Amino acid sequence: MRESQFTEVCDRTERKDERVKLRNIKTGQIGLTSGCTMEGETIQVELENGQLDSWEPAECEEL
């Protein structure tokens, strides 16, 4: 995910309360965004099994 995509996903998640569906390209896991950490540039996701995780934008693609 490019910097501009990261910013867009975070804007949709944080400002519009939209949960964006992402896939982690390293692990194949799928999750919905639940927040972003702009300082550390990570995306907090809720996985399909309900667990929470934090992914780096380079590991993510929007579904």
Torsion of CA 21, 63, 59, 32, to 10 degrees: 10
Q: What's the token pair of residue 38?
A: 């702009």
Q: How many CB atoms lie within 10 A of CB 34?
A: 15
Domain that holds residue 28: 3-62
Q: What is the pLDDT of residue 48?
A: 93
53 vs 3, more confident: 53
**pLDDT, mean over the chain:** 94
Can you give the pLDDT at residue 40?
75
Once rounded to an integer, what is the mean pLDDT over residues 31-41? 90
Nearest alpha carbon to residue 30 among 41, 39, 18, 43:
43
Bridge-based pairing of strands 30-37 and 42-47 is antiparallel
pTM attached to this predicted model: 0.90
1 membership: H or E segment, kind and range: none
For residue 9 the two structure tokens come to 């996903």
CATH of the domain at 10: 2.30.30.30
Structural domain count of the chain:
1
In this prediction, residue 38 carries a pLDDT of 76
User: Stretch 19-47: mean pLDDT, rounded?
Assistant: 94
